[in-house]
Structure 1
Amino acid sequence: MCGLLGILTADRNAAAIAPELGEAVHCMRHRGPDESGTWHDDDVAYGFNRLAIIDIAHSHQPLRWGPAGNPERYALTFNGEIYNYLELREELRRDHDAVFQTEGDSETIVAAFHYWGAHAVRRLRGMFAFAVWDTEKRELFIARDPFGIKPLFIAHGAGGFGFASEKKSLLEAADLLGIDLSIDPRATEHYLVLQYVPEPETLHTGIRRLESGSYAWIRPGGEPEITRYFTPRFPVVPFVRGKSEAQKRYNEIARVLEDSVAKHMRADVTVGSFLSGGIDSTAIAALAIRHNPDLITFTTGFQREGYSEVDVAAESAEAIGARHVVKIVGPEEFAQAIPEIVWYLDDPVADPALVPLYFVAREARKHVKVVLSGEGADELFGGYTIYREPLSLRPFSALTPGMRRAASRMSDRLPEGRRGKSLLQRGSQTLEERYYGNARSFQDAHLRSVLRDFHPEWTHMDVTAPIYAQSEGWDPVARMQHVDLFTWLRGDILVKADKMTMANSLELRVPFLDPEVFKVAERIPYKQKITRDTTKYALRQALEGIVPPHVLHRDKLGFPVPIRHWLRGPELYEWARSQIAESGADHILNLQAVGQMLEEHRSGIADHSRRLWTLITFMVWHGIFVEKRIKPQIQDHQYPVTL
């Protein structure tokens, strides 16, 4: 695990820029406080920070490896973990007489790349973003894991091609690369609608992201040649009646999940687990404690009633026999942490749940160096309540386009709050029109009021239309899952998971997002994912006897944060008002309109909490990265290597 930064120069001046690269990588110190340094040859310069998890005393980066006769042919820099590295090392030794000098997973990547080429990425079970420089062929290969668990930002300018684990390092190296740092208006509009910046965009025009499940070849002076190697698919699977056949499927889910957790426990440091009141994290913790009887679990919550799963999580920890640690977050520390958190994010993510995640990660880092978590279960197994929407809208499925337009007009004529208005509105739209993920911050009417330069032609369809095109003929729930894997999961869920834990030099692992688990999940039929009574039906059946009964069939709460109440009261209202008053983003946002929204929210005329949080998060981001007005107090975390 580390923070990596690299530049493939256009004019073979890597030696000259290496010192500046070392300075640029320092702002990612939190990603790897155990070791840091640089390496270069004529064409390529690397900077890195290492968080040592496996083979702590060795596996230093950048790692050099090569076959007999050229033992330093390749130079690797790598962020992540490969959980099946032991099995791959054995195969490479057996079939290719590969020789390894360390006991870590990094060498496995390079050896697999040498013998299997780009196809090697399909063999890796893990989370990764890495770069391999071939000193013989003078070409760079970069790749990212199938689901996008680990980030990789890229930029291409007159000075060469750059890549990094965090965008802020590329911002530091912008002059070396000669890239455009203007704010991307389309990405800004997408952020306001979705509450995150969708891949491959960032808010800086000259910096993009290598998408999940992709790799690229780059040669000096050339453009990156990007290939998608993994596209998740949910093919139509017939529903087979009969308890015995269903039980086989449930057993298969339990088996592959147990195998995934076992491999995710591989580490030379202590592994803990996040634990909420939900089925996903509880399942992971219950399986993890089989491999570590001294497992420590961590949860967070708020003092306000109805906004905490602390009691349920504590009951779960007791039921599985884990030691449990709780962090309660108050509104004052919540607000004080926002600038620091946004700095760690690189681009704004308007999900208030990332704030308590930051605090529980900080608490966990006092005890462990690695945690497991339950991200990805909802997308793979059908866990979001909105996935039941096709059931309620089934009567509308036979409507002609003309009938849909008529239903839409009827909905428009009904006053806000009238029963049936929302049903008519949703039923009048096709799935492609109405569904673009879990977060829907702004509709067009609100965008017009707050954006100085509104482009109605830029919509969520820019992002989702190509994704929907891949899923023609699938059932509606599968299509929604497919959209979420490419949008909500990698744009919000995994960004906050990576950024908030790595901000605290804590490695987070997600056993649900494993290629072998996905192979099982993709074959679950529609009727075994969603019923009228529950979500994740097949997963719940598979976890009978693993997850405690008080959690197994509990409704999904999510991670509600009381910003709706706090923005109306003394907790956050004055703070929010000061952010609006001091913002220098008036050329992008109509700050007067935003201020009016805050007053309407405070008075109870409307609930603008989600939209306000999206706007204020953007203002803080703009204050840090554009105006340079806000200067977060960043801790230079120092932790022991072997907790």
Structure 2
Amino acid sequence: MAVADDEGTRGKDVTQVCGLLGVLTKDSSAPGAAELVATAAERMRHRGPDEPGTWFDDDLVFAFNRLSIIDIDHSHQPLRWGPPEAPERYALTFNGEIYNYLEIREQLADEVGAQFRTQGDGEAIVAAYHHWGPDSVRRLRGMFAFAIWDTVERVLFIARDPFGIKPLFIATGPTGTAFGSEKKTILDLLETLELGDELDHRALEHYVELQYVPEPESLHTNIRRLESGTYAVVRPGARPHTHRYFTPQFPVRPFAAGSEQARYDEIADVLRDSVAKHMRADVTVGSFLSGGIDSTAIAALAIQHNPDLITFTTGFRRDGYSEIDVAAESAEAIGARHVVKVVEPEEFAAAIPEIVWYLDDPVADPALVPLYFVAKEARKHVKVVLSGEGADELFGGYTIYKEPLSLAPFDKLPTSVRRGIGALSDRIPEGVRGKSLLHRGSMTLEERYYGNARSFDDARLQAVLRDYRPEWTHTDVTAPIYARSRGWDPVARMQHLDLFTWLRGDILVKADKMTMANSLELRVPFLDPEVFSVASRLPVDQKISHGTTKYALRRALEQIVPPHVLHRKKLGFPVPIRHWLAGPELYDWAHDIIEKSQTDHLINKAFVRQMLTEHRDGVVDNSRRIWTVLIFMVWHGIFVEGSIVPQISHERYPVRI
């Protein structure tokens, strides 16, 4: 067994790491792969610039990049832990945070006499695994992707958190299995795994239709993602055996008479507890702050633990595309110091190649860009930020969740009548009021709803993709998810679908990738098992009610957030690409990407040019469709053609592209 790093980490312990990479070989060839794995790990140094290194034995290589947050002086990579009779039995690499690690350590010490050598959360993971087995992941309250190597049983255990906050890619070939926080590092290892780097055309169609690549797919056929709420067991020479340990359930429990306030108090209490635990760190914790209720609630609760809290927001100079003023008012109301980043069109466009490189797979959400810039600004002041992701999915925050109420009369009609209404809607000219209502009312929930981001209808999808196949539609993704929610109310089914699609495919990908690109850790207190347990029991009228969304959450936060945001409409970080793509800011930039892209065999560029022209001339708003294609073309230029080379630079370390 050997160690190769700058300091010699044999025998040290670990708390958390923000970038992990590993290879499990089938033929005891790990020592020969150590240098290759260490070199590949350099491409994710942004995830953990504080402490890089590698560790290996005969069968396995770990590479790691640590961003030190807890027990900075003593918890290092990798963790070597074991019971008294085998004190270095296990090795761990860990990306994330376990917020209830103190409680787990105390419980293990009391129940089985477990002993610990550090003050970090990493030992809690391994000790829990040793004493409670694979089901120990159910007891972890946090965000995580980790790998535990058992040197006695020669078995690898890898796991990902319930909601998919932290990523984990995996590839298995004839010579072994590679796993890592970033796909680009595994791309470097495909040859040694005896795998190719072919494009996954099915995943490409899903991306264009959904605007993200749904789990477990990636745009490379031989690289998949370990899904949220899943663990895998891998032995040398064998393929991973996966098991889903968490499936969100919505056991709705109607309020008893007079119990409404008690439920609102329960929501407030569980959020207070979650934020308190998410504030655990040995470094300064800040908070993102938009003009909405979610981030404001998190910041208002966080400042109770850190009176010197710094909040961060971003926006644009264009009217209607900034929440800077509202966020500043909120920061003043709760007593936080506030920092603002205004994004200009020129820096917006210039940053796209770098952002797409960090993403690994394309995500066609323009909000990525302001998030990247506000994270970059925040990193000048803090190492950790809190944010409000997940509140909409848990508490019913999307306006589209109101749709089942407006379409309820259609549900009472026979299927044949609904189909007739659908045929009638097809004959109504575009733009005529009521056409959309009739069209959507003619369909079942499974047919009409597959997330928040569809921009290409079937006709446009077929027009833009050279290899369009109707059997590769969104139902590939949604049908198995809907099958698990039969019998639930329609809003709960939509929430359940979004937890497995939009949340983990878009929201959490951009949150992780854009903050980690700046060596900044983002924590999401709403996405906590205890918070979910409370939110999942809410009936429909406590989500969509009184003309608003997140009704129960708003009631619970009445004494926590300032009045000016309590009932404010959701806006987030809006981006003016509709205007910019039609004007001097981005039109020429977009046209240039289309002309230079070597994707003619995949994309009908004539149709894309037509969409861009129609958009410029004001014929139709094609902005999201154009953006989806542009981001893929940039991705293809970086990861396939090599014609686009992002300018990646960090002051503290060199980055190999």
* Residue of structure 1 in register with 2:12 after alignment: none
For residue 6 of structure 1, report the CA deviation from its aligned partner: 0.3
Q: 1:594 and 2:608 equivalent?
A: yes
The one-letter amino acid paired with 2:197 is L
Give CA-to-partner distance per residue, 1:530-578, whole Å, 9 cap, x none: 1151000000000011000000011112332100000000000000000
Distance 1:146 1:41 in 2: 30
The AA in structure 2 aligned to 1:129 is A
> In the alignment, which of 365, 379, 383 is matched to residue 369 of structure 1?
383
Code of the aligned partner of 1:142? I
Q: Distance in 1 between matches of 2:212 and 2:237?
A: 32
Q: Distance in 2 between matches of 1:612 and 1:323?
A: 38
Q: Distance in 1 between matches of 2:652 and 2:446?
A: 48
Q: Which residue of 1 aligns with 2:122?
A: 106
Indicate yes or no: 2:535 matched with 1:527: no
Contact 2:252 2:538 in 1 (8 A): no
- Corresponding residue for residue 253 of structure 1: 267
Pick from 114, 117, 124 the counterpart of residue 133 of structure 2: 117
Aligned counterpart for 1:323 among listed residues 332, 337, 347:
337
Q: Quick one: which of 445, 453, 468 aligns to 1:431?
A: 445
Q: Is 1:49 aligned with 2:49?
A: no
Measure the CA separation in 1 of the matches of 2:133 and 2:194: 31
Q: Given residue 191 of structure 1, which amino acid in structure 2 is its aligned partner? A: Y
Matched with 1:180 is: 196
Residue 199 of structure 1, CA deviation: 0.2
Tell me which amino acid in the other structure corresponds to 2:327.
A
Please, what TM-score do these two structures have when normalized by structure 1?
0.98
Give the secondary-structure state (helix, strand or coil) at the position aligned to 1:174: coil
Amino acid at match of 2:159: A
Amino acid at match of 1:606: V
Which residue number corresponds to residue 51 of structure 2?
35
**Equivalent residue, structure 1, for 2:570:** 556
User: How many matched pairs?
Assistant: 637
Counterpart CA distance in 2 for 1:595 and 1:240 is 58
How far off its partner does 1:492 sit? Answer: 0.2
**Matched residue SS, 1:205:** coil
Find out whether 1:206 has 2:222 as its counterpart: yes
Per the alignment, in what secondary structure is the counterpart of residue 208 of structure 2? helix
> What does the per-residue CA deviation read over 1:318-346, in whole Å, with 9 as the maximum and x for residues that have no partner?
00000000000111100000000000000
Q: Following the alignment from structure 1 to structure 2, what is the Cα–Cα distance between the partners of residues 237 and 88?
A: 30
State the match for 2:499 in structure 1.
485
CA distance in 2, matches of 1:228, 1:510: 22
1:407 is matched with which residue?
421
Would you say 1:383 and 2:404 are equivalent positions? no
| Separation of aligned partners in 2, 1:441 and 1:106 | 42
Does residue 314 of structure 1 match 2:317? no
Query: How far off is 1:37 after superposition?
Result: 0.7
User: How far is the alpha carbon of 1:205 from its aligned partner?
Assistant: 0.1
Candidates 320, 325, 347, aligned match of 2:361: 347
| Other-structure match for 2:113 | 97
Residue 335 (structure 1) aligned with residue 349 (structure 2): yes
Q: Quick one: which amino acid aligns to residue 359 of structure 2?
A: L
Alignment of 1:241-640 (within 5 A): 241-242=257-258, 245-638=259-652
Equivalent-residue separation in structure 2 for 1:180 and 1:437 (angstroms): 32
Question: Are the counterparts in 2 of residues 239 and 527 from structure 1 also a CA contact under 8 Å?
Answer: no
Among 171, 175, 180, the alignment partner of 1:155 is: 171
**CA deviation digits over 1:466-515, x for unaligned, max 9?**
11111111111100000000000000000000000000000000000000
**Is the 1:76–1:131 Cα contact (8 Å) retained in structure 2?**
yes
Kept in 1, the 8 Å contact 2:146–2:158? The answer is: yes
Structure-2 separation of matches of 1:545 and 1:561:
31
Q: What letter corresponds to residue 152 of structure 1 in structure 2?
A: L
Equivalent residue for 2:99? 83
Gaps of 5+ in 2: 1-16
1:23 has 2:50 as partner: no
User: Equivalents in 1 of 2:389, 2:473: separation in Å?
Assistant: 27
Measure how far apart 1:239 and its partner are: 4.2
The one-letter code sitting in structure 1 at the alignment partner of 2:267 is I
2:459 counterpart letter in structure 1? A
1:160-187 CA distance string (max 9 Å, x none):
0110000000001111212231111110
Measured after TM superposition, the shift of residue 637 of structure 1 is 4.5
Residues 637 and 215 of structure 1, relative CA distance in 2, 3 Å threshold: farther
CA distance in 2, matches of 1:235, 1:37: 45
Measure, in 1, the Cα distance between the counterparts of 2:589 and 2:651: 27
SS in 2 for 1:143: strand
The 2-side partners of 1:236 and 1:94 are apart by: 36
CA contact (8 A) 1:33 1:637 kept: no
C-alpha RMSD over aligned residues = 0.9
Match for residue 232 of structure 1 among 239, 244, 248: 248
Listed one character per residue, the Cα deviations across residues 559-598 of structure 1 (whole Å, up to 9, x for unaligned) are 3210000000000000000000000011100111111110
Q: Which stretches in structure 1 are left out of the alignment for 5+ residues?
A: none
- Check the 8 A contact 2:300/2:334 in 1, yes or no: yes
**Structure 1 outlier segments of 4+, above 6 Å:** none
Quote the Cα distance in structure 1 between the aligned partners of 2:313 and 2:441.
39
Q: What SS does the aligned partner of 1:217 have?
A: strand
2:160 is aligned to 144
The residue type paired with residue 186 of structure 1 is R
Distance 1:99 1:179 in 2: 43
Distance in 2, matches of 1:385 and 1:260, equals 26
Q: Please give the alpha-carbon distance, in whole angstroms, between the structure 2 residues aligned to 1:119 and 1:540.
A: 35
The AA in structure 2 aligned to 1:453 is: D
Indicate if the aligned counterparts of 2:290 and 2:572 stay in contact, CA closer than 8 A. no
Q: 1:95, CA displacement in angstroms? A: 1.0
| Identity rate, percent | 74
Q: Secondary structure at the match of 1:317?
A: helix
Instruction: Tell me, in whole angstroms, the C-alpha distance in 1 between the residues paired with 2:217 and 2:255.
Output: 39
- Cα distance in 1 for partners of 2:551, 2:104 equals 34
1:391, distance to aligned residue in structure 2 (A): 1.0
| Counterpart position of 2:5 | none
C-alpha distance in 1 between matches for 2:650 and 2:80: 29
Distance in 1, matches of 2:242 and 2:546, equals: 42
Quote the offset at 1:240 in angstroms. Answer: 3.1
Aligned residues of 1:134 and 1:140 also touching (Cα < 8 A): yes
* Structure 1 stretch displaced more, 526-535 or 574-583: 526-535
- In 2, Cα distance between the equivalents of 1:23 and 1:611? 37
Residues 116-166 of structure 1: CA deviation (Å, up to 9, x unaligned)? 010110010000000000000000000000000000000000120110000
**DSSP 3-state at the match of 2:329:** helix
Q: Matches of 2:99 and 2:410 in 1, distance apart? A: 46
Counterpart AA for 1:231: T
The answer as to 2:19 corresponding to 1:3 is yes
Which stretch shifts more, 569-578 or 523-532? Answer: 523-532
Deviates more, 1:447-456 or 1:504-513: 447-456
Contact 2:370-2:573 at 8 Å conserved across structures: no
In 2: Cα distance, 1:228 partner to 1:406 partner: 41
Tell whether the 8 Å contact from 2:21 to 2:180 is kept in structure 1 after alignment: yes
The alpha carbon displacement at 1:52 in A equals: 0.3
